Amino acid sequence: MAVKYLEEYKIFKLDTAHTSYCIGIADVEGFLGHIYYGKKVGDEDLNYLLRTCEPPFVPFRNNRDRTSFYDQFPFEYSGNGLGDYRESSIIVRTPEGGCGVLPLFESYEILEKKPKLQGLPATFDNDGKALVLHCGDPALGLKVDLIYGVFEEADAITRSVIVRNDGEKPLWLEKIYSVCMDMEDRGYEMLTLHGSWARERQMDFRSLGYGKQSVGSLRGETSHQEHPFLALLERGADRERDGGQDRGEVYGLQLVYSGNFLAQVEKTQMNTLRVVMGIHPEGFCWKLQPGESFTAPEAILTFSDQGLDGMTRSFHQVIRKHLIRGPYRNRKRPILINNWEATYFDFNTEKLLKIAECAAGLGIEMLVMDDGWFGHRNDDSSSLGDWKVNEEKLPGGLSALAEGVNRLGMKLGIWLEPEMISPDSELYRAHPDWAIRLPEREPALCRCQYVLDLSRREVRDYVFESVCAVLHSANIEYVKWDMNRQLSDLGSAELPADRAGELYHRYVLGVYELQERLLAEFPELLLENCSGGGARFDAGMLYYSPQIWCSDDTDAIERLKIQEGTALLYPLSAMGAHVSACPNHAVGRVTPFETRGFVALAGTFGYELDVTRLSEEERAQIPEQIRLYHRYNDLVREGEYYRIASYQRNHEYDCYMVVSRNRREALVTYVQVLNRPNYRSRVIRLKGLDPAKRYLVEGLKHLEGRRIGGDALMNAGLTIPGMWGDFRGMLIHMTAE
């Protein structure tokens, strides 16, 4: 059984294929303790790991040192204000102003499937059973349910929390994390992802010192700057110069949420670690009337003894099979061309159809019309919220454009930014109170726009009806849903003062509701989320869209680092990646067209340029790139990903590979970023192959037609010859006999 209660030992045990997670009940009061998470173990009595037989002992034996016990016990879910001075998992304020809370075990349920989370994205179809630990704080009349899902095959465990006010007075929830895990510090390092616009998800390794080390967002979204993820790595593992990632123990945690978050590790006086993750408590306060409940987002946990590679494959499997939904989950995506970097706001039907006609002749399958098709929007200073076609640009509206594109055998997609409102718009003039703002302040502009208050039902209904009207007006098969600014000036004209702290979270719930309604109305729609590039590339949004625009930086060399950090957590099928024109619009770099194609093949693949203005030499390469996409995309989309080398860490070259699940096929992508003078070929060792199979190598002239054993390819390696110049790439394809 994946979930069991070892009654003799009072231990709950969650087993996946290769890991075990153990929780114990200590003392008659029902203290829940985190015993163990790691490589799979038998059904043993591991309660000695709780150290309750050591001073200060459990309160049943030594009530005079209760606070010392609270401050050292490895709580499965930590309380607040009663003597545990480490980071609390929950804070609850009473009408009298008190903030003490301690959830204690009351009962449990073992379920066939974990329950759904109301209004929130969450994993589904867990292939193991689920566990619910019912806890409570009788002094508050508070119930706390700790929910665990088990994904045996993927070696992953999910955690979430639901609290309910069963008392007679209102309570204010001022903090609620989704996961708390106390563990021994074995000299771990911490890995997080940082960045900014155009350089998202850069890997950052750091040593753990005493005290708290964290990443988080207060921007109303998960953000370009930091990511709702952290990993703890066995010291010295995965840090060699070539970027190999298949050794050492790793704990990985990520949050299925798209708003403010905190992910934190605290090293304590006893050389233990407390790891927490959940909604950021700053600016958060949720009122719970008697009988009301609150559901915290889900967190996904995994343990790997095969380094970051093992963690990555676990996350990929859970997200690909148990989080992404809809008809495109396992389907090849259409190759699109987006007009943004081709025209920006300067386009009309004639110009778009010229691009589409040329693109169709080369094998491109969809035209996406980006920003500037509505209102009187000829730059970014107006018309957001006025989702009516500008017929000066598009005579006959979207239907005429769609008909012209469809006649060419192509699909049509469009860009929308439904969460925003421009001061210069009919919508703002009619409803200025619909913008998020503080009543005593002039709200701050960003990109000359405000944010709509999606906590309000009438605002959500307006957005939904406006978007539906657009999509019903023409044969539109794809939507790029953008969000180009963060939240600020947090105030809602509708929320009362004692609920003002609910706005951040209610906003995120509003986004989720809108996208859920949209997909119900248009079940065949291909939705791609975006937020100024990759500011909201998170597991929460992947529940609604099978792909997310990875970054507004489309430079192939910058994308190596961005896509490496993204692929650390998310399957390649989720990464929006395009070939763009050079000099690149973000950095001015000139990269060979062939290399741009190789890098974009690691994602959804498409084009971000004016194909009519390419040189004949570059245009002639597009059919070959499209042929490669159709040949390899099933493998890239469904295969297992392995990191061979990291340009971010070695500053010279990048290499990764994808292997089919039956290990009969593999594709290696190699990019020589900087050439080296007076060096011989470089040796790379492959991963994930079947050591007993022999593989036909394609793409290396000196090995063309050779069959080489999988054991030799992984242990002895391949030689990669140097290429003339910088920014050169190659694909190496292997098939087994």
Selected catalytic residue, list 84, 242, 482, 610: 482
Q: In the CATH scheme, what is the homologous superfamily, with its name and number, of domain 3-322?
A: alpha-galactosidase from lactobacil brevis (2.70.98.60)
Pairwise CA distance, residues 446 & 287, whole Å: 31
pLDDT score for 299: 98
Number of H helices, E strands in the chain: 14, 39
Q: Confirm if 291 and 216 have CB atoms less than 8 A apart.
A: no
| Cβ neighbours for 431, distance < 8 A, ≥ 6 positions apart | none
Q: What is the mean pLDDT of residues 444-469?
A: 98
Specify the pLDDT at position 241.
44
57 — phi, psi (to 5°)? 65, 170
Question: By percentage, how much of the chain surpasses pLDDT 90?
Answer: 97
Planar angle of CA 478, 484, 488, nearest 5 degrees = 140
The number of beta carbons lying within 10 Å of the beta carbon of residue 54 is: 9
Task: Based on the residue annotation, tell me whether 482 is a catalytic residue of this protein.
Answer: yes
| pLDDT higher than threshold 70 for residue 240 | no
Class level of CATH domain 644-736: mainly beta
Distance separating alpha carbons of residues 126 and 105, to the nearest angstrom = 24
Peptide bond into 228 cis (omega under 30): no
pTM of the full predicted structure? 0.97
pLDDT (mean) for 134-138: 98
The CA distances from residue 662 to 628, 665, 693, in Å, are 21, 8, 11
User: Looking up tokens 């045990």, which residue turns up?
Assistant: 13
Q: Mean pLDDT of all residues in the chain? A: 96
Which residues fall within 8 angstroms of residue 331, CB to CB, at 6 or more apart? none
Which segment of 59-73, 374-388, 506-520, 610-624 scores lowest on mean pLDDT? 59-73
Instruction: State the catalytic residue, choosing from 238, 453, 552, 553.
Output: 552
Domain with CATH 2.60.40.1180 in the chain: 644-736
Those residues with Cβ within 8 angstroms of residue 713's Cβ, 6 or more apart along the chain or in another chain: 685, 686, 689, 695, 734
Indicate where the chain has its CATH 2.70.98.60 domain(s). Answer: 3-322
pLDDT reported for residue 309: 95
- Alpha carbon 668 to its chain centroid, in Å, reads 24
pLDDT at 117 over 90: yes
As a whole number of angstroms, the distance between CA 85 and CA 191 comes to 25
Residue 88 in this model has a pLDDT that exceeds 60:
yes
Q: Give the closest residue to 724 by CA, choosing from 670, 676, 652, 668.
A: 676
pLDDT at 60: 87
The predicted pLDDT at position 414 comes to 98
